[in-house]
Chain A
């Protein structure tokens, strides 16, 4: 074991990483604040994951202690998180989607979600037609509004300007270009189709 540590520290410039297991006591709450992968009990911070200990020094406040597993972190869609999903079927009352990404991390197993008709737009909710907002196999940015009750799945909403359809294919099978907040045009056949389009964030626009 000691030989392994010597080899490790000789190979890398940084000090050898400290690994910890669930239930290991890291420090007291007076020395640091608990970050992700930890929990506090009786005034001490304990680790909650089997991974690498990370200590981030903040300028004004206490350092943040967190435990990180380099590979996948098991994320679940939380209320208020922006998720990327793919529409699998639509109805006159709602659209069923598969949640693929939470933020920018992909999910290993897909979760199912529902976008109700009244959650598609913020204004004129009763004049919305689901068929003119989404179509199957569209990629949509949405926000989680509820974890759902017994029968339903995650409830999502696209009632903001930055939420809505991001990528859609026209009936000719070509990826469409957004024209306005409610229309997209196919570059090959020049037909316009109705979608509830997400506004492109200013940092992604090429000018």
Chain B
């Protein structure tokens, strides 16, 4: 066959990728088994947040957690809607095809779409109390979150990113919404942990995601379930989650202030 110069030719020999993937997974399992005990339950993962990075959307934000969760969120300001009454907030949550580890069960299956729709409804519930919808009659605001890599606490990171994106788009809000996730391992006397990583979340007996409006000190959404033990445990988990949200708030605040300064500097230049 004549050589095809338009394509890049791969190597002559090829090996199945499973060879390499198996060893990496085994290493991680060993590390998790050894390091599972001394993880501080109240430790927050390092958080990185940046607002105002997309030019296609009116507002955008990117949030990354230390465990590897990466969420990119875009928001669009008021557009005309057909229904009367106060404005509406439309949320969309999508998982990138490469977001999870390992193979997807069946790409495009109904279960995936159902999970995305549930996450979008949770996002809407968390953000609606924070946005001043009464100032936008007959308008709709759109928010779209894309999960690039799932390292645990994905919904919580998406809530924070969506609130940042809406504030960056210039939508009038009462407050920023900060999200925090907790989980409880299946051991009988285990305590709740903040911001679980993906393996911990998979093995957890109970999960909880909180959304808080820090300056007004109001909780906007609580989502979770599982077998968690006595009710006092859940109350204690709520308090732990609220504390986690308050500790994350300064980072998000700084990122929004920097984005506002950058925008003004770009407009002046």
Chain A: residues with CB nearer than 8 A to chain B?
Answer: 17, 19-25, 37, 39, 41, 46, 48-52, 69-74, 76, 108-112, 147-150, 154
Contacts and interface: CB of A to CB of B under 8 A. Distances in A.
Given A23-B215, A48-B173, A74-B171, 13 more contacts: A17-B264, A23-B173, A23-B176, A25-B215, A39-B132, A46-B174, A48-B132, A50-B256, A52-B264, A69-B260, A74-B78, A76-B137, A148-B84
A19 B80 contact: no
A21 B264 contact: no
A21 B257 contact: yes
29 contacts: A19-B257, A19-B261, A21-B176, A22-B167, A22-B172, A22-B174, A23-B214, A23-B215, A25-B215, A46-B174, A46-B215, A48-B132, A48-B172, A48-B173, A48-B174, A49-B167, A49-B173, A51-B170, A72-B170, A73-B170, A74-B77, A76-B135, A76-B137, A108-B58, A108-B77, A109-B78, A111-B80, A147-B84, A150-B84
Contacts of A148: 84, 138
A101 to B, nearest CB: 15
B172 A49 contact: yes
Given A19-B260, A24-B215, A50 B170 contact: yes
Nearest to A75: B78
A108 B139 CA distance: 13
Contacts of B170: 49-51, 69, 71-74
Contact of B259 (A50, A111, A150): A50
Nearest to A108: B77
Nearest to A74: B77
B267 A71 contact: yes
B202 interface: no
B174 A23 contact: yes
Nearest to A4: B261
Contacts of A20: 257
A154 B83 CA distance: 11
B136 interface: yes
Nearest to A72: B170
A148 B139 CA distance: 12
A24 to B, nearest CB: 7
B37 interface: no
B156 interface: no
Contact of B260 (A39, A50, A112): A50
B80 A109 contact: yes
B136 A76 contact: yes
Given A22-B172, A150-B83, A71 B138 contact: no
Looking at B58, B175, B213, the one whose CB has the most chain A CB atoms below 10 A away is: B175
A183 B83 CA distance: 38
B168 interface: yes
Nearest to B76: A109
B263 interface: yes
